[in-house]
Amino acid sequence: MAAITDAAGAAGVGARFRTCPVTGLKVERQAELLIRANAVAAVVFLLVGGLFGLLVALTRWPAVHLLPAEWFYIVLTGHGTNVLLFWIIFFEIAVLYFASAILLNCRLATPRLAWLAFALMVIGGMMVDVAVLQGDSTVMFTSYPPMQAMPHFYLGLILFAVGALVGCFIFFGTLVIAREEGTYEGSIPLVTFGALTAAIIAVFTIVSGAIILIPTFLWSLGIISYIDPLMYKLVWWGLGHSSQQVNVSAHVSMWYLIAAIVLGAKPLSEKVSRTAFFLYILFLQLASAHHLLVEPGISSEWKIFNTSYAMYLAVLGSLIHGMTVPGAIEAAQRKRGFTKGAFEWLRKAPWGNPAFAGMFLSLVMFGFLGGITGVVVGTEQLNLIMHNTLYVPGHFHGTVVAGTTLAFMAGTYLLVPLMFRREIMFKRLAQWQPYLFGLGVAGISLFMMGAGTLGVPRRHWDITFSDAVIPYEFSPAAILMMTLNGLSAIMAAIGGFAFILIVVCSILFGKRVDGAEMRKRLDVSPLAGAVGQYGSAGTIKLPGTIILVAVFFVAFVLYYYVNWKYLAQLWPLR
């Protein structure tokens, strides 16, 4: 067992610390328990939401067409709320507590309040799920008016958001305490800086949510008579899209975290990586415009400026991370002696370690599947050929599932030994899990985008229109895409359930691990853990990363203009 010592001094009243044998960091008991609680809640909601997602995909598969229409729309509403909000935000609260209390050797601010926040989020989440399953709140994740849900649907969302907001302020409070008590020297670590970015955007996001959801809640009670649908969309997407930027900040932090713990990777340049995070804070909030590109009554000037995050300055942030993260990994690997050719560092990376494999797959797929397509679908005129088609869910399964969810799953493989102090069970299955899930999600993303390019609508129970008075038939290629989407979803679901099985069994029945044994089990680099070895990587040449980035850039440019070519064939509009 690791030594658990009572902290001296009045500052950490009642705070009990142990020293982590892997990272050498001091871990406070309450912070550890709260991280565990939030992570467990996250996984439970992932299970619920993931199951809903599988049912959605099996219904969209024309040959299977599993659920009746009413249940399809219920389950689709539940899928969005459970995975996009509850799974991800619970996990993010765990990340915030980890990046503050644990990485800064500090106690967590106001743990009692943190438990209250946790309770609010659990109650809110359950309230929404009850409302959705009762069947009178089938309004989709976006709940656009004039369509109305039951009051407790909105109230549940509000309670959940308040809990998350309290969590953000506990994170800020912990940063203040760490500075006051001098638990670290100089500036906060890069991962904490990224988490700070996420928390700042989260505050903006949740405030937008409050501004629109509170009046909508009152409207559902009959106190307010009218909610303007366009105004609702503008403000709601201040919540809906900005929260995706919270996810981006959080999962990019997770990439840096995993690269640091597993490979001992250092940021190439602290200055560049931090500036990239800072760009997120400045510009990501404009993204509400992505959802308003084909709406009435909004000027093109407004659309162009906002949809491009003021000339793509937030995209610039992601493009920078897209180079500095693999660059940091290459530099670390080259330092360990993998210097042959351009790619020995990549070939000999720990592909059998699910934390690393998940992280790297997340990085690649977020860039190619989520990132490029996000810019394309968010281009003012190109949105015309994609708006509300399956292209949109195809894009965001590339960002939020292949990117965020896979990164968080990868992080969990470190979290279980570090925070739960249990060994990961089913090692073989765990090795395969990121590939199974990753490949499945890549399929979901690609085939939905393919179907969307052929015009298939999103949120639609029957694309064969068998009950429609005026028939329409999509091309056989579209039906094929939906079939492949269903098959991919089965694969992703197997990967997802494998993840939950591994995590739950490891937490409950895994062998307790400590000390040197844990370092060995984690398969972490000897560089890692030695507090004090930090700083910029210096002048190591990175030919592999340069090639990877060049390939990515060429793919980006080509795909971007292919879509303009497609647009040019449309009926003229003005």
Residues 470 to 509: which contact other proteins by CB under 8 A? 470-472, 474-475
Cα-flanking dihedrals φ and ψ of residue 9, to 5°? 90, 165
Query: Which of 149, 159 has the CB closer to other proteins?
Result: 149
Beta bridge partners of 27: 18
Tell me how far, at minimum, the Cβ of 243 lies from other proteins, in Å: 20
Tell me how far, at minimum, the Cβ of 148 lies from other proteins, in Å: 10
Please tell me whether residue 14 binds other proteins under the rule CB under 8 A. Answer: no
Residue 132 near residue 80 (C-beta atoms within 8 A) = no
d(CA 405, CA 53): 14
Residues 40-99 that bind other proteins (CB under 8 A): 69-70, 73
Q: Which stretch in 11-19, 32-40, 81-89, 375-383 sits in contact with other proteins by CB under 8 A?
A: 375-383
Q: Buried b / exposed e across 503-527, counting CB within 10 Å, b at 16+?
A: bbebbeebeebeeeebbeebebbee
Q: What is the DSSP letter of 111?
A: H
d(CA 180, CA 11): 10
Q: Hey, what are 384's tokens?
A: 């015309």
Q: Which stretch in 5-13, 416-424, 437-445, 529-537 sits in contact with other proteins by CB under 8 A?
A: 529-537
Query: Which of 70, 180 has the CB closer to other proteins?
Result: 70
Query: Which of 411, 496 has the CB closer to other proteins?
Result: 411
Q: Which stretch in 31-39, 89-97, 189-197, 363-371 sits in contact with other proteins by CB under 8 A?
A: 189-197
All residues at 6 or more sequence positions from 117 whose CB lies less than 8 Å from its CB, including other chains: 93, 162, 163, 164, 166, 167, 170
Query: Which of 222, 471 has the CB closer to other proteins?
Result: 471
d(CA 363, CA 345): 16
d(CA 336, CA 262): 12
Q: What DSSP assignment string belongs to 303-319?
A: HHHHHTHHHHHHHHHHH
For helices 476-509 and 29-60, the axis angle rounded to 10 degrees is 150
Residues 220-249 that bind other proteins (CB under 8 A): 228-230
Q: What DSSP assignment string belongs to 278-298?
A: HHHHHHGGGGGGGG-TT-TT-
Query: Which of 56, 498 has the CB closer to other proteins?
Result: 56
Residues 151-180 that bind other proteins (CB under 8 A): none
- Contact with other proteins (CB under 8 A) among 109, 175, 190, 482: 190
d(CA 257, CA 305): 33
Q: Pairing relation of β-strands 16-19 and 4-6?
A: antiparallel
The helix (H) or strand (E) run that includes residue 190 is helix 190-220
- Contact with other proteins (CB under 8 A) among 169, 172, 184, 435: 184
Please tell me whether residue 10 binds other proteins under the rule CB under 8 A. Answer: no
Residues 249-288 that bind other proteins (CB under 8 A): 256-257, 259-261, 264-274
Number of residues that bind other proteins (CB under 8 A): 113
Residue 190 near residue 270 (C-beta atoms within 8 A) = yes
d(CA 554, CA 375): 14
- Contact with other proteins (CB under 8 A) among 54, 213, 315, 489: 315
- Contact with other proteins (CB under 8 A) among 146, 337, 341, 515: 146
Q: Computed over its alpha carbons, how large is the radius of gyration of the chain?
A: 23
Query: Which of 5, 533 has the CB closer to other proteins?
Result: 533
Q: Using CA of residue 16, residue 531, residue 194, residue 434, what is the dihedral sign?
A: negative
Residue 452 near residue 390 (C-beta atoms within 8 A) = yes
The helix (H) or strand (E) run that includes residue 31 is helix 29-60
- Contact with other proteins (CB under 8 A) among 37, 161, 166, 320: 320
- Contact with other proteins (CB under 8 A) among 150, 199, 287, 375: 375
Residues 436-465 that bind other proteins (CB under 8 A): 453-455, 457-463, 465
Tell me how far, at minimum, the Cβ of 62 lies from other proteins, in Å: 12
Residues 285-314 that bind other proteins (CB under 8 A): 294-300, 304, 308, 311-313
The helix (H) or strand (E) run that includes residue 392 is helix 391-396
Query: Which of 228, 511 has the CB closer to other proteins?
Result: 228
- Contact with other proteins (CB under 8 A) among 13, 63, 223, 468: 468
Q: Which stretch in 113-121, 348-356, 387-395, 494-502 sits in contact with other proteins by CB under 8 A?
A: 387-395
Residues 531-570 that bind other proteins (CB under 8 A): 531-536, 539, 541-542, 545-546, 549, 553, 556-557, 560, 564, 567-568, 570
Query: Which of 6, 571 has the CB closer to other proteins?
Result: 571
Query: Which of 140, 490 has the CB closer to other proteins?
Result: 140
Q: Hey, what are 552's tokens?
A: 């990515």
Query: Which of 30, 324 has the CB closer to other proteins?
Result: 324
Please tell me whether residue 8 binds other proteins under the rule CB under 8 A. Answer: no
Tell me how far, at minimum, the Cβ of 108 lies from other proteins, in Å: 17
389-408 footprint of other proteins as x/- string (CB under 8 A): x-------------------
